[in-house]
């Protein structure tokens, strides 16, 4: 647990601070990063958010977005390296292992800066000088809010910071539908709304802002790329590189698609296989006590939360899907009945 007094003392004088988050940031990753950045700037710190990659355009509305440095862009890499090397503090948000920030991981690891990790994922890597970590939190944005409150600086949360933090909690709870939607989550979001978060606007910007191509892509995926195995209580989408090119897919266009498979009656395990130039990206979802994070970690070099996890495969799309189907058949009883698979250490 974080020593709040020591951390508060560390932030009592102006510092050069870098904030970073995981590859392909979602609303929780970017919301916690920009929420923290805007808060620290109000305290007089020099703050830069560096992301390992781009992120969905439906998150561009957050305050501070225009100043984010995308390490994936060649013309930003030297700038990012210089900022990391000059930083007094590096704050790592919404990831527990440095491998989640790709090439930035090695730079952060060797940097002389004080390192801070704020996260809610399992199995954190021991790389930080300060850690505020809890798997009981629904979102990293929830932890950032709690941190600011425990620092006795809730008065610094304005409507822009509240918007950022609300967005991450809303999306990581699936619009407050997932089992991680606790009493504390509702209390925090109520406070954020009281502090100026525009919950209706945020929901519209994130969930109800689509391009024509994205809507056509979703229709195509539902009619041509959805596979259902009723006997296995499993459904999945498979998306090829050709499909992505055909619909001019942008970062974020596949966001939430896997949930359509999980919404089917009788389905307890859903997946989406997306063919990328660097392998097959896999998203897993489940309901009830089906722990897809253990399945992802054991077989697909992944992990995450019990009902929402990710993985990857360097096999072809076809071979990856065939392996997945085989593993689901072999582990069906253990996955659905929560026997030894979910209790195994990996």
pLDDT band, very low/low/confident/very high, at 346 (cuts 50, 70, 90): very low
Is 80 exceeded by the pLDDT of residue 56?
Answer: yes
More confident residue, 324 or 178: 324
Average pLDDT over residues 230-250: 96
pLDDT in the model for residue 252: 87
More confident residue, 100 or 242: 242
More confident residue, 189 or 333: 189
pLDDT in the model for residue 123: 82
Apex CA 273: angle with CA 326 and CA 180, to 5°? 95
Instruction: Record the tokens describing residue 258, joined without a space.
Output: 């896997």
Is 50 exceeded by the pLDDT of residue 103?
Answer: yes
Average pLDDT over residues 223-227: 98
pLDDT band, very low/low/confident/very high, at 341 (cuts 50, 70, 90): very low
pLDDT in the model for residue 306: 87
Q: May I ask the CATH architecture of the domain 4-207?
A: Alpha-Beta Complex (3.90)
% of the chain surpassing 70 pLDDT: 97
Phi and psi angles of residue 91, each rounded to the nearest 5 degrees, phi first = -105, 120
Average pLDDT over residues 319-326: 97
d(CA 178, CA 156): 30
pLDDT in the model for residue 342: 41
pLDDT band, very low/low/confident/very high, at 344 (cuts 50, 70, 90): very low
Is 70 exceeded by the pLDDT of residue 259?
Answer: yes
| Residue 116 bridge partners (DSSP) | 91, 130
Average pLDDT over residues 213-232: 96
Is 90 exceeded by the pLDDT of residue 334?
Answer: no
pLDDT band, very low/low/confident/very high, at 337 (cuts 50, 70, 90): low
Task: Point out the least confidently predicted range of 41-45, 63-67, 201-205, 294-298.
Answer: 294-298
Q: Which CATH number fits domain 212-336: 3.40.50.12780, 3.10.310.30, 3.40.50.261, 3.90.1150.10?
A: 3.10.310.30
pLDDT in the model for residue 124: 86
pLDDT in the model for residue 338: 54
Calculate the average pLDDT of the chain.
Answer: 93
> DSSP letters along 183-202, please?
HHHHHHHHHHHHTT--HHHH
Instruction: Record the tokens describing residue 191, joined without a space.
Output: 């406070």
- Answer yes or no: are the C-beta atoms of 158 and 164 closer than 8 Å: no
Query: In the chain, what's the furthest Cα-to-Cα distance?
Result: 61
pTM (predicted TM-score): 0.89
pLDDT in the model for residue 187: 98
Could you tell me the sign of the dihedral formed by the alpha carbons of 167, 172, 175, 176, in that order? Answer: negative
d(CA 12, CA 10): 6
Apex CA 167: angle with CA 166 and CA 173, to 5°? 90
pLDDT tens-digit profile of 174-210? 999 988 999 999 999 999 999 999 999 999 999 998 9
Is 70 exceeded by the pLDDT of residue 83?
Answer: yes
The full set of domain ranges for the chain reads 4-207, 212-336
pLDDT tens-digit profile of 124-140? 899 999 999 999 999 99
Q: Which residues contact 59 (CB under 8 A, 6 or more apart)?
A: 25, 27, 30, 31, 65, 167, 206, 252
- Answer yes or no: are the C-beta atoms of 95 and 25 closer than 8 Å: no
% of the chain surpassing 90 pLDDT: 83
pLDDT in the model for residue 1: 64
Is 80 exceeded by the pLDDT of residue 45?
Answer: yes
pLDDT tens-digit profile of 1-32? 678 888 999 999 999 999 999 999 999 999 99
């Amino acid at each position: 647990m974080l020593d709040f007094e020591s951390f508060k003392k560390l932030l009592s004088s102006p510092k050069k601070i870098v904030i970073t988050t995981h590859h392909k940031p979602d609303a929780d990753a970017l919301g916690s990063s920009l929420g923290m950045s805007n808060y620290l700037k109000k305290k007089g710190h020099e703050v830069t958010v560096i992301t390992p990659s781009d992120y969905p355009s439906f998150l561009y509305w957050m305050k501070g977005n225009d100043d984010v440095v995308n390490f994936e862009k060649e013309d930003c890499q030297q700038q990012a390296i210089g900022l990391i090397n000059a930083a007094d503090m590096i704050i790592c948000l919404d990831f527990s292992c440095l491998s989640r920030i790709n090439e930035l991981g090695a730079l952060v690891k060797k940097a002389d800066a004080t390192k801070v990790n704020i996260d809610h994922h399992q199995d954190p890597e021991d790389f930080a000088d300060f850690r505020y970590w809890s798997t009981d939190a629904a979102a990293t944005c929830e932890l950032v809010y709690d941190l600011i409150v425990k620092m006795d600086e809730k008065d610094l949360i304005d409507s822009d910071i509240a918007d950022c933090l609300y967005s991450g909690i809303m999306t990581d709870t699936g619009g407050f539908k997932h089992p991680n939607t606790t009493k504390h989550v509702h209390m925090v979001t109520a406070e954020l709304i009281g502090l100026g978060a525009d919950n209706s606007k945020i929901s519209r910007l994130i969930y109800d802002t689509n391009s024509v191509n994205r809507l056509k892509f979703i229709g195509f995926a539902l009619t041509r790329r959805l596979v259902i195995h009723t006997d296995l209580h499993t459904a999945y989408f498979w998306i090829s590189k050709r499909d992505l090119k055909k619909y001019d897919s942008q970062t974020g266009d596949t966001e939430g698609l896997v949930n359509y498979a999980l919404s089917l009656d009788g389905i307890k395990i859903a997946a989406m296989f997306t063919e990328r130039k660097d392998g097959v990206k896999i998203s897993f979802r489940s309901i009830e006590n089906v722990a897809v994070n253990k399945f992802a970690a054991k077989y697909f070099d992944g992990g995450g939360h019990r009902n929402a996890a990710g993985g990857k495969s360097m096999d072809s799309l076809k071979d990856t899907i065939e392996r997945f189907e085989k593993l689901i058949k072999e582990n069906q009883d253990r996955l659905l009945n929560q026997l030894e698979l979910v209790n195994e250490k990996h």
